[in-house]
Structure 1
Amino acid sequence: MLDPARLRSQLTANYCGHHLVQYAVLDSTNRLLSDWAQSSLSGGHPLPEGTAAIAMQQRAGRGQRGHIWESAVGGLYLSVLLYPSVALPRLLELTLAIAWGVALQVRRDLGVAVALKWPNDLVVDGRKLGGVLLQGRSRAGRVTAAIAGLGLNGNNPVPAKGISLAQVLGKTVDLHDVAAIALVGIETGYEAWQAKGLAGLEPTYESLMLHRQAVVPQVGDRATVTGIGPRGELQVATATGVQTFQPGEIELGYEVALGAGSE
């Protein structure tokens, strides 16, 4: 278990993680906060924004589209409660913003060259370091609460397509440091998105995209990823023009084939 006093002393976020609960083992930090948010909103006493939950191990961790997220001891499994006042479809934008914020913070504080695999994966050397899962509570098409879940490989064993911070850095990492970095990254991405919208993050996000200028064979032999659209959709240039895709409509692997003329 993390030492709350130690984590608090290292935390530089303004509000994310200031109210925090942690568990040795939990089904899902996202599910816990989602249930708590629903109860608190129904009772008229909403939990403070930035309330966070950390588990040392999850029994039912999930990624995008219901994929299982292996949550062995040694990784960071963290969720944060946010209150964006937006229409429900805009949660895709927030997913990208959170991934962007965490990637930049890890790069800045740990010197790890994290790339972004659209829409929600953090990647190093073509292998998965972590992922973001956004889940929302809504009423009349508006988000009443959003749960930003983050799984980040620290010292835990990883599958063949995965990589951990311990492997990248060549040493055991302190999860207090990793948690503090992640909480600042989530807050940074959230606040930048609220202040500037996705358009303000787009140039940096696209510069970190693993698949930018990559060929997408399932769309066409000469189809290449050009970046993201105004609502976070993937943009692919084809012989007949630019096509856009939502998560689940196209699958980007970890193999990257660059198109002709790309750098």
Structure 2
Amino acid sequence: MTDPRMLRFRRPHHGGGRLMATYRRLAGASSRPWTIRCMPVCSSTEELLGTWLRDQPSLTGPRALIATHQRRGVGQWGRAWVSPPGGVWISAALPWRSHRSAQAGLLGLALALSVVQRLEQRGLAVQIKWPNDLLVNGRKLAGLLPGVVQRGSQLRLLRVGLGLNVRNPVPAEGIALRRLEGQQAADPIHWTAEVLLALDHCYRVGGDGSWCLDGVRDRLWSNQLVHPENGQIWQISGLEDDGALRLRQGSMTERWRRWP
């Protein structure tokens, strides 16, 4: 039996008139031909973007699936991402060309930096908790889940799922834009457009993402961390060229490409 949720998804869901008007106003002459689908509620934008990519692989431009509310949003390690109305919940796919091999981790850092730079233009001080969380005052404002789609050894698409707290309720360890000075009237539509602009910037620069490394280093959330395996404090000594986190404790060193 066909899942009725998928029947609902396969009907045209273009929408987003106000969103695209906001995006074009902010982007000006640099706006791109995004294909947008807006959902009032869904299980997961990541799931539905995957279905869309399988059903219509011939679309050549960037596309994004945006939900007002996700029932089963997914974060890092498959953890549930609480996604009530009032936030930005988006999954996007960007056609990608790179003359060098590109990795999801490094491109994810490039995406994170691009989003941070949009937030900074609004006067916000944001740090990057490696590899893909954005923090304000030590509390989580946004999270990114990057991925790549390859055809053989050729990178075909850069994918990203992103959640940004705007006016939605958040847990104690989180923070929303409406709680920050100067952002009390923060609008999810406006910030969805800002996210599209961040993705545009990342696409225009392109490459393997290594252009982001200096910017990410400057915005790392801490100079030390508690090692999850032994509970000891290790110093964060920087990033490798592939985006890996470099750690040191005395004469011992580690390089993390993913959090243990």
Per the normalisation by structure 2, the TM-score is 0.83
SS at 1:180 equivalent: helix
| Alpha-carbon distance change, 37 to 11 in structure 1, aligned in 2, over 3 angstroms | farther
| Alpha-carbon distance change, 107 to 17 in structure 1, aligned in 2, over 3 angstroms | farther
Give the structure 1 partner of residue 177 of structure 2: 165
Distance 2:107 2:94 in 1: 10
Indicate if the aligned counterparts of 1:30 and 1:147 stay in contact, CA closer than 8 A. no
Distance 1:248 1:116 in 2: 14
Give the structure 1 partner of residue 148 of structure 2: 136
Indicate if the aligned counterparts of 2:19 and 2:192 stay in contact, CA closer than 8 A. no
Structure 1 unaligned spans of 5+: 250-263
| Alpha-carbon distance change, 16 to 55 in structure 1, aligned in 2, over 3 angstroms | farther
Matched, 1:121 2:133: yes
Structure 2 unaligned spans of 5+: 1-14
Q: How does 1:62-141 map to 2 (within 5 A)?
A: 62-85=74-97, 90-108=103-121, 110-141=122-153
The percentage of counterpart residues that share the same residue type is: 28
Over residues 199-246 of structure 1, what are the superposed CA-to-partner deviations in whole Å (9 max), with x where a residue is unaligned?
Answer: 3221111111102x2144456856300121111111112322532012
Q: 1:145 offset after TM fit, Å? A: 2.5
Given candidates 38, 48, 55, the residue that maps to 1:39 is 55
SS at 2:38 equivalent: strand
Indicate if the aligned counterparts of 1:73 and 1:156 stay in contact, CA closer than 8 A. yes
Indicate if the aligned counterparts of 2:110 and 2:211 stay in contact, CA closer than 8 A. no
Distance 2:73 2:113 in 1: 21
Matched, 1:225 2:241: no
Matched, 1:55 2:71: no
Report which of the two has the higher share of strand: 2
SS at 1:20 equivalent: strand
User: Which stretch of structure 1 is more off in the superposition, 227-236 or 29-38?
Assistant: 29-38
Q: 1:181 offset after TM fit, Å? A: 1.1
Matched, 1:7 2:39: no
Distance 1:177 1:73 in 2: 15
SS at 1:69 equivalent: strand
Give the structure 2 partner of residue 26 of structure 1: 42
| Alpha-carbon distance change, 11 to 74 in structure 1, aligned in 2, over 3 angstroms | same
> Aligned partner of 1:165: which letter?
L
RMSD: 2.4
Q: 1:176 offset after TM fit, Å? A: 2.4
Give the structure 2 partner of residue 206 of structure 1: 217
Q: 1:128 offset after TM fit, Å? A: 0.2
User: Which stretch of structure 1 is more off in the superposition, 60-69 or 231-240?
Assistant: 231-240
Q: 1:33 offset after TM fit, Å? A: 1.7
Over residues 43-94 of structure 1, what are the superposed CA-to-partner deviations in whole Å (9 max), with x where a residue is unaligned?
Answer: xx2x233211211011111111101110000001112211224688701111
| Alpha-carbon distance change, 184 to 165 in structure 1, aligned in 2, over 3 angstroms | same
Indicate if the aligned counterparts of 1:76 and 1:152 stay in contact, CA closer than 8 A. yes
> Aligned partner of 1:93: which letter?
L
Distance 1:137 1:199 in 2: 19
Indicate if the aligned counterparts of 1:117 and 1:123 stay in contact, CA closer than 8 A. yes
Matched, 1:234 2:245: yes
Distance 1:134 1:88 in 2: 16
Give the structure 1 partner of residue 3 of structure 2: none
Q: How many equivalent pairs are there?
A: 241
Distance 2:60 2:120 in 1: 29
Distance 2:225 2:180 in 1: 27
